[in-house]
Amino acid sequence: MKEKESLNVLDELNKGACMGIDAINFIFDKVDSKELKEILDKQVCDYKKITEDIEKLYPEYSMEEPHETSVMEKVRTWYGIEIQTFLDKSDSKIAELIVKGTNMGIIEGRKLLNHKIADQQVEELVKEYVDMQENALEKLKAYL
């Protein structure tokens, strides 16, 4: 049973990391601050590392590919960013949008950790995911 739950956790993590990468890529060209761009670039690199770690671990649970965000989710994310930044492209607004998404990832990750439904190696990856997002969140707060 833990194998199936671990697979579900890996899929959720992968979808969250892919969503984070997509959101940052959609918003990156709107950012003026070099320092904020560096923070976002680091966050994308961290998300990519998580997806790579998932891809290495995934074959232990399934012969399929990890689930990613759907095209509709990507379109919704892009559209939401476009609407939210139409009148306000300030670093504060951009940081706010990324903070909201990062918080959603932290909440989901913490729920997964608190319920202890995955194997230890998957739980360690969830912890890494949550820690990475919490570190990014702390840096982004300076731009709010």
Using left for φ > 0, alpha for ψ between -120 and 50, and beta otherwise, residue 39 falls in: alpha
- Which residue type, as a one-letter code, is found at position 127? K
pTM of the model: 0.92
CATH 1.20.1260.10 for domain 2-143: yes
Report which DSSP code applies to 143.
G
Per-residue pLDDT, 4: 84
Assess whether pLDDT exceeds 80 at residue 1: no
Assess whether pLDDT exceeds 90 at residue 104: yes
Contact 97, 84 (CB under 8 A): yes
**pLDDT class of 116 with cuts at 50, 70, 90:** confident
Assess whether pLDDT exceeds 70 at residue 37: yes
Name the residue ranges covered by the structural domains of the chain. 2-143
pLDDT digits (tens, 9 = 90+) for 55-82: 999 999 999 999 988 999 999 999 999 9
